[in-house]
Copies of this chain bind each other. A is one copy, B any other.
Amino acid sequence: MSEIKKVVLAYSGGLDTSVILKWLQDTYQCEVVTFTADIGQGEELEPARRKAQQFGIQQIFIEDLREEFVRDFVYPMFRANTIYEGEYLLGTSIARPLIAKRQIEIARQVGAEAVSHGATGKGNDQVRFELGYYALEPNIKVIAPWREWDLLSREKLLAYAESHGIPVEMKHKNGGSPYSMDANLLHISYEGKGLEDPAREPEADMWRWTVAPEVAPDQPQYLELNFEKGDAVSLNGVTMTPAVLLAELNRIGGQHGIGRLDLVENRFVGMKSRGCYETPGGTILLKAHRAIESLTLDREVAHLKDDLMPRYAALIYNGYWWSPERRALQTLIDHTQQTVNGWVRLKLYKGTVMVVGRESRTDSLFDPTIATFEDDGGAYQQSDAAGFIRLNALRMRIAARLQRKE
C-alpha cells in the first residue's frame, strides 16, 4: 500500500465518510483530500469543511454542482424518457457519474493516485462510482473501504468512531434514521431496515419531500412548462436555469404529494432490493416531456426511442454513463430533440399529474385537417386505406391459404 500518497475522498461530512476519512489516514498512512459537492441534497456543506479541518485535511474541495448536475446529467437523461424497470426515475444513478468525474479531475489537480468513496460492497453505487473512475482515469487506484475493512455492522462503526475521536451525533447514538437515504435535486431514496420486507407498507413518517396525497391541497394546481429542444426552460412563463426549475418543480410537486414510489428493483450486482423514492419534480417533468414529444416527434422516431429506452436506462442504472455505448445512444437521443419545442399544461392534484394541454407553434406534427372526423376536404383519401390494409395483410393471407390446403 506504500504507493498511495494521496487519495481524494467523496466526503459528505456524515458519520460514515468521517470514519472512512480516519480509516484511510490510519490504514494507508496517506494524505486525504476531501471533496464535498452540493447536488441539491439539501444539507449545509460548511459543517463538512469544519469536520475535515478537524481531521487535519489540507485540501478541502467544496463545490456547488447543482446546475451542472441538472443541465448535463438529469436533462440529457430525461430527453430519453428514461425509466428503469417500468417505474424508477434513476435519481441516485444519475448523480454518481458527476461525482466520479469531479473526483478524478481533483485527483489530477492535486496529484492523487487514488480515490475513495463510501458506498457499500452490495450496492449499485460502488459500481457507478468506480466505472466512472476507471473510464475517465484508467490507472487510478480505487479504495472502497466497505469492501476492505471489518466494520460491517453499525455497532462496530460506532465503536470505531468513538475510539478514534470522531464526533458521533446524538441521532446516531440513538440509532438515527431507520433508513439508508440518498438525496439530490432529482430525488430522495430510502432503503434498508423496515423496508427489507417488501410485503410491508413503509411507515407514513418515512417520506420527507412530499406530503401524503391525503393532506395535499384540496384545490388542484395548473402549471405550464415550456420546452426547447427537449429541455424544460421555463415554468409558468418564467425562464429558469435547469437547477432552479427542477427545484421549483420539486417544491410544487412535493406540496401536492406527487412522485412517491415504492418498488422492488434488480441491482446490477445480482440481487433484488426494495427501495422507496420521492421524485416530485422528475415525475412532472417526465410526464410533460412525453406530452410535448407526442406532438412534435415522428411516430417511428418516438418508437425507436421507446425501443432503446430500457437499454439506455439499464446503462445508467448500472453505472455506464461514461461508456461509449451510452454516448452513442445519447447522440441519437439528442438528435431527435431538435423539434421538441412547445408548451405543456399540467394539472396537479393529490398525487396525480395529468396532462391537460400541449401545443407547439413551430413543430407540431398534429394536423387537424387530417385528423378530423369531419369532412377533411380530401386531405386524406380514405380509399388509400384499402390498399394499405390489403398489402399489410398479404403475407398473412398467403400463410392462411397454405394452412387451409393442409
What is the CA–CA distance of A396 and B314 in the complex, to the nearest angstrom? 17
State the Cβ distance, A87 to closest chain B Cβ, in Å. 7
- A191-220 vs B, CB cutoff 8 Å, 1 = contact: the mask equals 111001111111000000000011000101
B residues in contact with A201, CB < 8 Å = 345, 347, 356-357
- A366-397 vs B, CB cutoff 8 Å, 1 = contact: the mask equals 11101111110000111111111111111111
A365 near B263 with CB under 8 A, answer no
What is the CA–CA distance of A267 and B286 in the complex, to the nearest angstrom? 22
Closest chain B residue, CB of each to CB of A358: B198
- CB-contact partner of A392 in B85, B270, B345, under 8 A: B270
10 A-B Cβ contacts within 8 A? A81-B86, A134-B397, A139-B397, A272-B365, A274-B366, A298-B396, A300-B324, A301-B325, A304-B328, A332-B332
What is the CA–CA distance of A363 and B403 in the complex, to the nearest angstrom? 8
- Interface size on A, as a range, is 35 or more
Q: Residue A170 at the B interface, CB < 8 A?
A: no
Closest chain B residue, CB of each to CB of A127: B389
- A242-262 vs B, CB cutoff 8 Å, 1 = contact: the mask equals 000000000000000000101
Closest chain B residue, CB of each to CB of A121: B382
Q: Residue A236 at the B interface, CB < 8 A?
A: no
What is the CA–CA distance of A307 and B135 in the complex, to the nearest angstrom? 24
A359 near B324 with CB under 8 A, answer no
A402 near B365 with CB under 8 A, answer yes
The copy count of this chain in the complex is 4
Q: Residue A238 at the B interface, CB < 8 A?
A: no
B residues in contact with A396, CB < 8 Å = 131, 134-135, 138, 298, 322-324
Q: Which 7 A-B pairs have the closest CB atoms?
A: A121-B382, A270-B394, A387-B387, A384-B387, A266-B299, A138-B397, A134-B393
Q: Residue A173 at the B interface, CB < 8 A?
A: no
A27-35, A69-77, A89-97, A145-153 - the one binding chain B: A145-153
B residues in contact with A392, CB < 8 Å = 127, 131, 270, 388
Q: Using a CB-CB cutoff of 8 Å, which residues 284-307 of chain A contact chain B?
A: 290-291, 294-295, 298-304, 306-307
Q: Residue A62 at the B interface, CB < 8 A?
A: no
B residues in contact with A214, CB < 8 Å = 218, 220, 349
What is the CA–CA distance of A121 and B391 in the complex, to the nearest angstrom? 11
Q: Residue A1 at the B interface, CB < 8 A?
A: no
- CB-contact partner of A357 in B199, B260, B310, B389, under 8 A: B199
B residues in contact with A154, CB < 8 Å = 374
